[in-house]
Amino acid sequence: MFTPDLLVRPADDANAELVALVHPPGWQNPRAASSYDLIAVGGGTAGLVAAVGAAGLGAKVAIIERHLLGGDCLNTGCVPSKAIIRSSRVIGEWRRAPGLGVLLGEPVVDFGTVMQRMRLRRRGIAKHDSAKRLASLGIDVFFGSARFVDRRTLNVDGQQLRFGRAVIASGGRAAAPPIPGLDTVPFLTNETLFSLTELPSRLAIIGAGPIGCEMAQTFARFGSEVTVFDQGLQILARDAADAAQVVRHQLEAEGVRFELGVKIERVGQTGEDIRVYYFRNGRNTVTATNVAADALLIAAGRAPNIEDLDCPAAGIATDRQGVVVNDRLQTTNRRVFASGDVCSRFKFTHAADAMSRIVIQNALFFGRRKASALVIPWVTYTDPELAQVGITDADVASSGGRYATVTVPLSDVDRAVVDDDTEGFVRVHHERGRVRGCTIVAPHAGEMIGEAVYVITHGGTLADLSATIHPYPTVAEALRKAGDAYRRQALTPFVRRLLTYYFAW
């Protein structure tokens, strides 16, 4: 049986208070009601939004969680990672201080205090996801492993829970790639990384995606010697190549070593060292070598949490990616829906939130909202940040001229110039002026991308961005500049001749 204190380390007051909120020791599951309007299977973002939203509308709701309420986001994902990234940004600013005319002494990173601060902030946020709060909203909170008995019944802790509708929101977990020897060495994932109390002198990371890059920069700033491995030739493979290159250049300048385009042969342990053995195929040669590390972080993919649900008993189809759903997030059992990481290629908290809002409407009110209509951005929280929404450079290149692009380098933005933040850009993809996508590489790209998301969601245009007054000086003014650039492009030679005649007249 799951014991929360075994998952949450170290055993300090902050973590004890966290567990008391999101999996209270000694919690007694309520006696199941005769039937529920909605049961949420999973207490992460997707399940919480569905349960709280439905209960707020007057539905009889239950939520089932086998580990910790709040899911990955609160406990092992967004919250703890951004907390330690915040500490690392101070180091980034310190390194830039002399160029800004400020001379500072050598900083000392107290890693134990950094992690303690993270745990305190996580505990402070946990109250929003607490069992007590959910119960106060009229939600029946069950801790235990959920299993489908039939198309309308779930079993948890020996009780049978009948439902009119259910939503599978069981999320996902870090996937360990099939690397020989991996099962013989200790390794970290996002589920265990934030339990560290001592800074590893040498950190090896397998995976150059968002988690790998964020943690590479963070730990390098704290003082670790970091090496990142990936079989691809580009970091952040889902993003535009030149945008990813800006991030890579910054991380390399801070000491992160990238080994890209490599195949990991095996991992092993020699004394206290964890060794990653890999080779690279050259034009005429194969180069084999290895890197020694004190800690190994696996940041190479996710797997859905569906094994224990017995989905076939409820007539629910699954595949390697998770639960199979239609565009209305309905499974092959018309009474059961799914939301979040367990069914979506967008593994983000905000995506899970948006999908669960669709589930509430479609499951309880016969709605017909489609997940494909959602405009979902994503952000990699390196420094600079990289944010993306909508179509990408690859979509533009393969569109046969349907889409076009306007790019504004930060070197053309006054605020970026005075802040010495000119390594980046704002790029807007459009279809005859109507905004279809946006890529931003900038210190606060995650804060800026929301404007582009709004414009795309509401069918806005580059002309709308041009006509929107942005405060000066801000980096967000680059979006207006993109609109201005598009409007200048509209001044064709023919239009210019007409204007020449007009002013002559």
pLDDT tens string 207-243:
999 999 999 999 999 999 999 999 999 999 999 999 9
Residue 4 has pLDDT above 60, yes or no: no
Q: Which H or E element spans position 273?
A: strand 273-281
- Going 419 to 425 to 430 to 432, the CA torsion angle's sign is positive
Classify 488 as helix, strand or coil: helix
Q: CB-hemisphere CA count at 13 Å for 120?
A: 6
Would the pLDDT of 426 be above 90?
A: yes
- pLDDT of the residue at 280: 85
14 and 97 Cβ atoms separated by less than 8 Å? no
Distances (CA, A) of 25 to 16, 40, 101, 334: 10, 21, 53, 36
- SS3 percent helix, strand, coil of the chain, rounded to 5, is 40, 25, 35
Residue 148 scores a pLDDT above 90: yes
Find the Cα–Cα–Cα–Cα dihedral 131, 133, 135, 141, rounded to 10°.
-30
Distance from C-alpha of 112 to C-alpha of 483, rounded to nearest angstrom = 47
Whole-number pLDDT of residue 7: 65
User: For residue 308, what are the contacts with CB-CB under 8 A and spacing of at least 6?
Assistant: 145, 146, 147
Predicted confidence (pLDDT) at residue 48 exceeds the cutoff of 70: yes
Give the Cα separation of 285 and 280 in Å (integer): 8
Q: Do residues 224 and 260 touch, judged by C-beta distance below 8 A?
A: no
3-state SS, residue 409: strand
Q: Is the pLDDT of residue 69 over 50?
A: yes
The percent of residues above 90 in pLDDT, for the chain, comes to 91
Cα distances (angstroms) measured from residue 375 to each of 121, 209, 257, 388:
30, 21, 34, 11
Whole-number percent of the chain with pLDDT over 70? 97
Q: Is the pLDDT of residue 1 over 50?
A: no
Backbone angles phi, psi at 142, to 5 degrees: -115, 130
Nearest to 214 by CA among 381, 74, 458, 76: 381
What gap in Å lies between CA 380 and CA 364, rounded to an integer? 35
Mean pLDDT score across all residues of the chain: 95
70-128 confidence digits (pLDDT tens) = 999 999 999 999 999 999 999 999 999 999 999 999 999 999 999 999 999 999 999 99
CA 240-245-248 angle, 5° bins: 130
Phi/psi at 202 (5° precision): -130, 125
23 burial (CB, 10 Å; 0-12 / 13-18 / 19+) is buried
Which residue has better confidence, 259 or 287? Answer: 259
Transcribe 317-372 into DSSP letters.
-EETTEE---TTSB-SSTTEEE-GGGT-S---HHHHHHHHHHHHHHHHS-----GG
Query: Which among 329, 346, 345 has a CA at the least distance from the CA of 337?
Result: 329
Mean pLDDT of 305-331: 97
Looking at 64-78, 271-285, 347-361, which range is the least confident one? 271-285
Once rounded to an integer, what is the mean pLDDT over residues 468-483? 97
Tokens 């076009």 -> residue? 404
Residue at 16: amino acid letter: A
